[in-house]
Amino acid sequence: MKNWRTLLLGVVLCANTAFAAPQEVDKVAAVVDNGVVLESEVNDMLMSVKQQSKEAKQQLPDDATLRHQILDRLIMDNIQLQMATKMGITVTDDDVNKAIANIAQQNNLTLDQLRSRLAYEGLNYNTYRTQIRKEMLISQVRNGEVRRRVTILPQEVDALAKQLAAQTGNEAEYNLSNILLPLPQNPTQDQVDQTEILAKKLVSELNHGADFAKMAMTYSADPHALDGGNMGWGKLQGLPSLFAQALATAKKGQVVGPIRSGVGFHILKVNDMRDVDQKVSVTEVHARHILLKTSVVLTDAQAQAKLEQVAAAIKSGRANFADEAKQLSQDPGSANQGGDLGWASPDMYDPAFRDALLKLKKGEISAPVRSSFGWHLIQLLDTRQVDRTDAVQKDKAYRLLFNRKFAEEAQSWMQEQRAQSYVKILDGNGQ
């Protein structure tokens, strides 16, 4: 079963407050612009990460290093939540309810079962809802801001689509993990050299058996650091060009890097690989219909009865479908063509129309069908299998380009926001 904490943005690290010990005063761990990160938030997330890592039998760095990573995550979250407030972005209770219902559904759980699972894990349901709301706000801020920075030209889509089409057989997907050793904006040569030395040292240690996830949690500035650096599955074309080039000949289990990008040095690990079939074939239908729209002078019952009479006349040979469509149909787009809708994917139609159409055999006429447009009499003329690989690959090319550019811009944007924000990290005494 999928991890029930998993959201679109990754692992939701919920505060474990159900059995928390009483505290005298909650201390401030960091001041972030007009907000603060509390020690309790750091400690709660620390407990959650440790619990998840224990369940996954994953090695962790020492508490001080882990705390630093967690504090960085919470600071960036705080910056984005303040941005959401300034922008007037809100998430309603209904939005949160739908998100939680979706999480439960994805994991084959009812809401009551999800609540029970949370309680079993020692997680307070109200705190869980609060964390979901925060994740949704952060997602809206980041998506809205970063999307503006992503530009995709038609020529880029066409070029990548041609590249995809030129590939034969299967294409590989990669499950990758990433360690990012960041560089500041406009780094000095000494900063670049020192970071590169560290990157090469880590690569050597990883090649001699060091645990990648632990290294990511210890050193990485990537958003996936607390997930052990795991980026999930993706195709090479969806990765930054530097990554794709370096991974072109990589094997499963291989550590690749260091790779210099605009934000720092990256170390990649190929966790797994799999092949995916490229060919896409879809079923298209050729149908025709007669549409009657209800009004003050034509009730639902009258429209249904009229179409039943027409269907009986056509089936008995006393009437012709095309002639009846030209005379009766109130669909201006098809009436003059005898109701002919041409070839199309069934999903293009109103759900009620589509469902009735898919039940028909070639040449068969439906019973009257009520859709959002009115009452239909439908006839299925023919079906065919169509190779839609070209269209699908253009769509795939666009999505791959968008994901690649979004990932690049998101990292740069987050570093910019952090650099522009006032952040003061306090010691244990609030100094």
Phi-psi map region of 264: left, alpha, beta (phi>0 left; psi -120 to 50 alpha): left
Mean pLDDT for the stretch of residues 407-423: 90
Mean pLDDT for the stretch of residues 213-237: 88
- What digits encode the pLDDT tens for the residues 102-140? 998 888 888 999 999 888 877 788 889 999 999 999 999
Residue 10 pLDDT > 50, yes or no? no
CA distances (Å), origin 347, targets 112, 143, 353, 384: 34, 28, 10, 15
Which of 162-176, 229-243, 400-414 has the highest average model confidence (pLDDT)?
A: 400-414
Residue 283 pLDDT > 60, yes or no? yes
Token digits for 341? 């809708």
How would residue 357 be classed by pLDDT, with cut points 50, 70 and 90? very high
- The helix (run of H) or strand (run of E) holding residue 251 is none
**What's the rounded Cα separation, in Å, for the pair 63 and 408?**
30
- The helix (run of H) or strand (run of E) holding residue 195 is helix 189-207
Mean pLDDT for the stretch of residues 73-93: 94
Least confident of 198-202, 216-220, 249-253, 314-318: 249-253
List b or e across 304-317, with b for residues whose CB sees 16 or more CB atoms inside 10 angstroms. bebbeebbeebeee
Residue 168 pLDDT > 80, yes or no? no
Residue closest to 359 by CA, chosen among 342, 379, 340: 379
**What's the rounded Cα separation, in Å, for the pair 43 and 289?**
64
Token digits for 193? 């050299």
Residue 387 pLDDT > 80, yes or no? no
**What's the rounded Cα separation, in Å, for the pair 303 and 367?**
12
Pairing of strands 369-370, 340-344: unpaired
How would residue 318 be classed by pLDDT, with cut points 50, 70 and 90? very high
Q: What is the share, in percent, of the chain residues with pLDDT greater than 70?
A: 89
**pLDDT at res. 338:** 95
**pLDDT at res. 4:** 36
User: CB count, 10 Å around CB of 90?
Assistant: 12
Give the residue carrying structure tokens 């979901």: 132
Question: In 302-374, where do the E strands start and end?
Answer: 340-344, 369-370
Token digits for 323? 């002639």
Residues 6+ apart with CB under 8 A from 8: 139
Residue 240 pLDDT > 80, yes or no? no
Are the C-beta atoms of residues 304 and 190 closer than 8 Å to each other? no
Burial of 70 from C-beta contacts in 10 A (0-12 / 13-18 / 19+)? buried
Residue 15 pLDDT > 60, yes or no? no
**What's the rounded Cα separation, in Å, for the pair 221 and 198?**
14
Residues 6+ apart with CB under 8 A from 321: 288, 290, 314, 338, 339, 365, 379
Q: Give residue 387's identity as a one-letter amino acid code.
A: D
Phi, psi (deg, nearest 5) at residue 15: -70, 135
How would residue 364 be classed by pLDDT, with cut points 50, 70 and 90? very high
**pLDDT at res. 171:** 63
Least confident of 25-29, 69-73, 389-393: 389-393
Q: How high is the mean pLDDT of the chain?
A: 85
Q: What is the share, in percent, of the chain residues with pLDDT greater than 90?
A: 51
Residue 347 pLDDT > 90, yes or no? no
- Does a cis peptide bond (omega within 30 degrees of 0) precede residue 258? yes
Pairing of strands 230-235, 281-292: unpaired
